[in-house]
């Protein structure tokens, strides 16, 4: 399309789960619900329209070994885009992906800087590895580098203990989270197990990734404080294989990982039932491929979250949470067109008819 071209999107425009319009127009890359006067170069697409999907936990520029070259990062971003995920929260990466912001054909990214982990307590080549006395300083550094988020590694295997355990003392996380908030950044943390959650929430954390260790004791605390979770169920599905690989060396850890996996759906459903905000995230970019947002929506529904609420967790609600617009007047035209109503059948999400990014049909 030329810069003067107009895109006419017809059908059922799902502005929200219950707000449906018949058409919208795209002029200069932005949405309008007013027919532009004198439009001549018009392209029309039709179908069921959602705002671009959200993957609120992925890692562009990262693979299982660490940072990747720009051409690999580009392929990761394109894979998400072609699957309809047009807004990504990069939950930690050692790569500088700011160049993506200059590309109108790649998804928009909300960055959390680089992971911050305890020394020798995370995946090699991923994180800044520091001791508690340096945690607040590194949080400040990443708050300035990110897009309003900082990512901590809240727990990981302790090789001496032979199991998952919390990485940080209470005082260190209190000081670090306070510093992030002073700088206007929200804080999230990788947490598989149970024992780091209370300290993190009472210290003021804003979100927890995975959150497989939620219990009847901590779920009410999350709900009371409004702490969100991003369960990454497509990643939690890998726990049995991880447990098998570590069985001989860390049998206690392996048994723990299997228990967390076995109760994963109950954990997510209990969190949702308690009123904890739940959002779609895949953990793509480490060991998982990109382009799995539709699979994660399906997993949330499999856990017992109503279909429309699971859909909202990867569209309308997730965009509000991240402070990014949906299908509002004047918003960037980032939208996905489907052949039938995704509210009625979530499987539709895996087969987008058209992908529109910044007003251009890119898929």
> Would you say residue 181 has pLDDT above 90?
yes
Closest CA to 61 of 53, 73, 50, 45: 73
pLDDT at 45 over 90: yes
Q: Inter-axis angle of helices 170-182 and 135-145, to 10 degrees? A: 30
Query: Band of the pLDDT at 4, cuts 50, 70, 90?
Result: low
- What is the pLDDT averaged over residues 23-50? 93
Of the candidates 140, 132, 203, 141, which has an alpha carbon nearest to the alpha carbon of residue 172? 132
Q: Is the pLDDT of residue 337 over 70?
A: yes
pLDDT score of 3 more than 50: no
- Whether the pLDDT of residue 1 is over 70: the answer is no
Intervals of CATH 3.20.20.140 along the chain: 53-322
59, 283 Cβ separation under 8 angstroms: yes
pLDDT of 66 reads 96
pLDDT exceeds 80 at position 227? yes
- Comma-separated ranges of CATH 2.30.40.10 domains in the chain: 7-50+325-362
Q: Would you say how long the chain is, in residues?
A: 363
Tokens of 322: 């991240």
Distances in whole angstroms, Cα of residue 54 to Cα of each of 41, 66, 274, 311: 31, 23, 23, 10
Nearest to 34 by CA among 325, 329, 326: 329
Output the pLDDT for position 285: 95
CATH dotted code for 53-322: 3.20.20.140
Of all residues in the chain, the percent with pLDDT exceeding 90 is: 96
CATH of 7-50+325-362 given 3.40.50.2300, 2.30.40.10, 3.20.20.70, 3.30.930.10: 2.30.40.10
pLDDT tens digit string along 92-143? 999 999 999 999 999 999 999 999 999 999 999 999 999 999 999 999 999 9
């Amino acid at each position: 399309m030329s810069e003067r071209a107009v895109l006419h999107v017809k059908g059922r425009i799902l502005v929200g789960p219950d707000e449906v319009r018949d058409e919208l127009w795209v002029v200069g890359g932005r949405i309008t619900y007013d027919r532009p006067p004198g439009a001549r170069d018009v392209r029309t697409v039709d179908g069921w329209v959602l705002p671009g999907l959200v993957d609120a936990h992925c890692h562009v520029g990262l693979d299982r070994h660490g940072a990747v070259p720009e051409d690999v990062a580009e392929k990761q971003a394109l894979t998400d885009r072609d699957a309809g995920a047009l807004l990504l929260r990069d939950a930690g990466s050692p790569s500088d992906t700011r160049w993506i912001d200059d590309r109108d054909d790649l998804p928009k990214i909300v960055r959390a800087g680089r992971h911050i982990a305890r020394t020798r307590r995370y995946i090699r080549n991923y994180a800044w590895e520091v001791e508690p006395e340096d945690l607040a300083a590194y949080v400040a550094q990443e708050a300035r580098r990110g897009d309003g988020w900082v990512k901590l590694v809240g727990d990981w295997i302790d090789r001496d203990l032979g199991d998952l355990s919390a990485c940080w003392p209470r005082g260190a996380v209190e000081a670090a989270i306070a510093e992030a908030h002073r700088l206007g950044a929200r804080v999230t943390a990788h947490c598989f197990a149970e024992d780091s959650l209370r300290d993190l929430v009472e210290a003021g954390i804003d979100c927890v990734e995975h959150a497989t260790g939620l219990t009847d004791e901590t779920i009410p605390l999350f709900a009371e404080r409004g702490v969100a979770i991003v369960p990454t169920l497509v990643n939690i599905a890998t726990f049995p294989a991880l447990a098998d690989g570590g069985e001989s060396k860390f049998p206690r850890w392996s048994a723990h990982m299997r228990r967390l996996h076995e109760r994963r759906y109950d954990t997510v459903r209990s969190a949702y039932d308690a009123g904890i905000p739940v959002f779609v995230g895949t953990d793509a970019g480490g060991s998982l491929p990109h382009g799995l947002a539709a699979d994660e929506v399906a997993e949330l529904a499999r856990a017992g979250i109503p279909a429309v609420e699971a859909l909202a967790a990867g569209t309308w609600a997730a965009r509000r949470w991240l402070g990014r617009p949906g299908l509002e007047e004047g918003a960037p035209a980032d939208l996905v067109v489907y052949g039938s109503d995704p509210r009625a059948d979530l499987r539709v999400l895996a087969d987008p008819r058209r992908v529109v990014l910044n007003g251009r049909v890119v898929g």
